[in-house]
């Protein structure tokens, strides 16, 4: 065991330098809203919390944010402690524990404060409802292994402090002698096998030292007792296993700030400079004004300077021209700064940002590669959002938040799928400056090249919200965005396949792939191995996807619902000559009738409703749906939607689909209705005939 002696002068005079900060290793949220205990959740440079709505994702971010926000935001037990246990609330329950990794420099700094911490690079800090922090070092014995020899050395430091501060005055000499006498008695009374890890021995020694503390504090003397009292306190903390005040102060200074974002205000295309400057002076800023301010900071553009340069009153013509030139240079520079990274990160078109002065207005224009220039507000909502988001986050990370963890709640939800993928790349780039945690339920916001960055969030009755330590949760609904992302990522390289079956959405993909695989294993008619299934993400997208595949000389067949939307898609495909009639398969053709049908209508009603009742057992309770329920509607889905709406529930066809496909792994072919087997065999045969010549099947 190394020495843990304290240097009294360093304890009193230690100065805290600015340091880089701690790196977040994991978080744990307890006693907060719907979260009883999230579990210990490891994080990376950037981490995605994935789950359905109301699963607890936002609660995780808010709890982490309040650990150390940029602006004071205390925990509110009345609003945030779990309601079902509020009768247990005492006011100091723990809320969030964060585990940090210390750099070598930080470990060295702690070692200079106290050698006990010189070999530990892990610290766990917990904040409670009262706002207090608790510091723990998992790699250090707690209580520490303080033997009799070490305790004697610690008490010797108290003697040394008394000698230097109490011995200098006539009144202090008797107190100094009394101090030495008491400390010697304490040492003599300790057993040779003394160990502070033994509770009774530790508590007895601490009580004796507290008595010494009282003796010094209340002594009738003019001597300076502050140093002795402080050293006694430090020794008690070491024996008790507490972190020193200086250690706590150092860690409080080095731990990162947490910045929470859930609303991203769109930057205005026209900023009236005088009005904006007046708002800055009064401090009354709208969310849009704050976003504009962040943009100006990012591009180093000072509107006040621009106003002064634009004022011609009392200036010579030469001076006016010089100021005009300077304004032009400042504006041009800002345009270049903003254009640089944005074009690369946006990734769809190369865009150039132009700041222009128009009287007392700063106007923001966007020029594309074709040379057309329009104001920012006339660009698509997705681009406006991304532009504003980029400005906010770059500005925040540059402007006083270098040692920060960024927390993003559902970013990019109004962006197109491809733009969401670009946003993920942008987040990855941001995380090189600041660690970043974001929530999402979109499959396109999941980085499939880095699944180790994904954590799934789920909520269940009794245990509340929990977060997985990796991407794979047992909760199927929480896994759905991951499953969809996986299917999407797999489908992308398959678009180059020669024979493509385009289906309306991912659920159709599941049904066809799942049953075809089962039929293949049982030597029944199935989808050819040469056919690739591609979900379009909606009936209207079938036209675009088919056109794209056809232009690459690929063989395409489309499977459509036989409803009004499907009929329109068919007409568009035929009118634009994207596909021939033989390449379009209607669901009702498979079933041999002319009524309106969707994929679920291929299943016998009793068979399918069994899975609906299982998927919505909680909502339906003692009222499961049966074929005898008197509801009208052209499709089974329309009837189910009516039935569930009467019970305040919303139908999602993916829920019974997941249960059904899970069952396919364990059931025998004989367990399927015979009419369903024949119908699906007919479906697979029609698709194969539409895509492949007979000899290729």
pLDDT in tens, 643-669: 999 888 899 999 999 999 988 888 889
Residues 122 and 156 in one domain: no
C-alpha dist (Å) from residue 107 to 97, 117, 210, 247, 275: 20, 7, 31, 11, 50
> What's the CA gap between 267 and 338, in Å, rounded?
13
Last residue of a domain, one of 367, 399, 431: 399
Q: Is the dihedral of CA 261, 262, 267, 268 positive or negative?
A: negative
> What's the CA gap between 463 and 465, in Å, rounded?
7
Q: Is the dihedral of CA 147, 152, 156, 158 positive or negative?
A: positive
Residues 549 and 624 in one domain: yes
Percent above pLDDT 90 for the chain: 25
Residues 568 and 633 in one domain: yes
> What's the CA gap between 449 and 48, in Å, rounded?
13
Give me the pLDDT at residue 230, please. Answer: 82
Last residue of a domain, one of 422, 453, 485: 485
What lies within 8 Å, CB to CB, of 320 at 6+ separation is 312
Residue 666 lies in a domain: yes
Positions of the chain with pLDDT lower than 70, given as ranges: 1-21, 141-144, 167-173, 220-223, 241-244, 263-265, 341-350, 369-371, 382, 393-402, 414, 418, 449, 462, 469-497, 551-553, 694-697
Residue 335 lies in a domain: yes
> What's the CA gap between 656 and 610, in Å, rounded?
9
Residues 668 and 573 in one domain: yes
> What's the CA gap between 305 and 323, in Å, rounded?
10
Q: What is the pLDDT of residues 90-141, one digit of tens each?
A: 988 999 999 999 988 888 888 787 777 777 889 999 999 999 898 888 877 6
Residues 556 and 655 in one domain: yes
Query: 160 is in which domain, residue-wise?
Result: 148-240
What lies within 8 Å, CB to CB, of 77 at 6+ separation is 89, 91, 93, 129
Residue 490 lies in a domain: no
Give me the pLDDT at residue 3, please. Answer: 31
Residue 131 lies in a domain: yes
Residues 17 and 109 in one domain: yes
Last residue of a domain, one of 177, 209, 240: 240
Containing 436, the helix (H) or strand (E) segment is strand 435-440
Give me the pLDDT at residue 399, please. Answer: 52
Give me the pLDDT at residue 16, please. Answer: 33
CATH of the domain at 53: 3.40.50.300
Q: What is the pLDDT of residues 70-94, one digit of tens each?
A: 778 899 999 999 988 898 999 889 9
Residues 130 and 14 in one domain: yes
Q: Is the dihedral of CA 369, 370, 374, 377 positive or negative?
A: negative
Q: Give me the residues paired with residue 501 across strands.
A: 533, 557
Structural domain count of the chain: 4
Residue 24 lies in a domain: yes
Give me the pLDDT at residue 523, please. Answer: 93
CB distance 261 to 385 below 8 Å: no
Residues 190 and 134 in one domain: no
Write down the residue that tokens 């585990």 correspond to. Answer: 99
Residue 171 lies in a domain: yes
Residue 37 lies in a domain: yes
Residues 75 and 115 in one domain: yes
Residues 500 and 648 in one domain: yes
Using alpha carbons only, how large is the chain's radius of gyration in Å?
35
Residues 625 and 551 in one domain: yes
Residues 550 and 691 in one domain: yes
Give this prediction's pTM.
Answer: 0.55
């Amino acid at each position: 065991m190394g020495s843990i002696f304290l240097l009294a002068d360093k304890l009193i005079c230690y100065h805290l330098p600015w340091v880089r900060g701690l790196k977040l290793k994991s978080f744990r949220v307890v006693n907060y809203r719907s979260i009883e205990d999230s579990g210990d959740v490891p994080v990376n440079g950037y981490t995605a919390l994935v789950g359905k709505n109301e699963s607890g994702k936002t609660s995780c971010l808010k709890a982490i944010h309040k650990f150390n926000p940029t602006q004071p935001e205390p925990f509110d037990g009345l609003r945030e402690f779990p309601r079902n246990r509020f009768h247990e609330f005492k006011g100091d329950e723990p809320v969030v524990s964060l585990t940090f990794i210390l750099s070598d420099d930080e470990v060295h700094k702690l070692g200079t404060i106290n050698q006990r911490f010189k070999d530990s690079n892990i610290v766990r800090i917990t904040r409670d409802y009262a706002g207090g922090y608790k510091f723990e070092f998992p790699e250090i014995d707690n209580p520490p292994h303080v033997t009799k020899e070490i305790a004697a050395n610690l008490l010797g430091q108290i003697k040394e402090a008394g000698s230097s501060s109490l011995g200098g005055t006539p009144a202090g000499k008797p107190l100094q002698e009394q101090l030495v006498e008491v400390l010697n008695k304490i040492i003599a009374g300790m057993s040779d096998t003394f160990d502070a890890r033994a509770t009774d021995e530790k508590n007895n020694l601490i009580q004796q030292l507290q008595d010494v503390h009282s003796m010094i504090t209340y002594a009738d003397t003019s001597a300076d007792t502050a140093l002795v009292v402080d050293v006694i306190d430090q020794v008690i903390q070491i024996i008790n296993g507490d972190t020193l005040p200086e250690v706590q102060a150092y860690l409080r200074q080095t731990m990162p700030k947490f910045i929470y974002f859930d609303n991203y205000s769109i930057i205005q295309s026209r900023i009236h400079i005088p009005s904006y400057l007046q708002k800055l002076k009064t401090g009354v800023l709208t969310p849009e004004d704050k976003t504009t301010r962040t943009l100006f900071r990012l591009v180093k553009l000072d509107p006040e300077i621009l106003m002064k340069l634009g004022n011609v009153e009392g200036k010579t013509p030469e001076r006016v021209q010089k100021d005009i030139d300077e304004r032009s240079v400042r504006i041009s520079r800002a345009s270049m700064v903003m254009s640089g990274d944005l074009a690369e990160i946006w990734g769809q078109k190369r865009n150039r940002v132009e700041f222009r002065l128009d009287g007392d207005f700063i106007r923001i224009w966007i020029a594309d590669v074709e040379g057309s220039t329009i104001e920012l507000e006339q660009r698509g909502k997705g681009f406006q959002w991304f532009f504003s988001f980029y400005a906010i986050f770059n500005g925040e990370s540059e402007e006083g938040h270098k040692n920060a963890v960024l927390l993003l709640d559902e970013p990019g939800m109004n962006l197109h799928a491809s733009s969401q993928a670009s946003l993920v790349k942008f987040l990855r780039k941001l995380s090189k400056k600041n660690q970043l945690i974001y929530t999402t339920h979109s499959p396109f916001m999941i980085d499939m090249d880095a699944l180790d960055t994904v954590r799934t969030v789920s909520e269940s009755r009794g245990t509340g919200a929990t977060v997985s330590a990796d991407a794979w949760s047992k909760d199927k609904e929480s896994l759905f965005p991951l499953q969809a992302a996986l299917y999407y990522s797999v489908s992308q390289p398959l678009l180059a396949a020669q024979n493509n079956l385009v289906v309306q959405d991912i659920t159709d993909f599941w049904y066809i792939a799942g049953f075809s695989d089962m039929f293949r294993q049982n030597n029944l008619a199935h989808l050819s191995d040469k056919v690739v299934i591609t979900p379009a993400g909606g009936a209207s997208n079938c036209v675009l996807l088919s056109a794209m595949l056809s232009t690459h000389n690929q063989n395409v067949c489309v499977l459509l619902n036989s409803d009004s939307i499907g009929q329109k898609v068919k007409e568009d495909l035929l009118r634009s000559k994207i596909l021939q009639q033989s390449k379009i398969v209607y669901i009702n053709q498979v079933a041999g009738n002319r009524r309106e049908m969707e994929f679920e209508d291929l299943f016998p009603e009793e068979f399918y409703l069994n899975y609906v009742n299982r998927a919505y057992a909680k909502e339906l309770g003692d009222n499961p749906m049966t074929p005898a329920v008197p509801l009208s509607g052209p499709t089974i889905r329309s009837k189910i939607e009516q039935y569930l709406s009467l019970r305040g529930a919303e139908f999602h066809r993916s829920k019974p689909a997941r249960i059904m496909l899970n069952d396919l792994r364990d059931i025998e072919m004989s367990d399927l209705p015979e009419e369903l087997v024949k119908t699906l065999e007919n479906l697979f045969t029609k698709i194969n005939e539409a895509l492949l010549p007979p000899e290729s099947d």
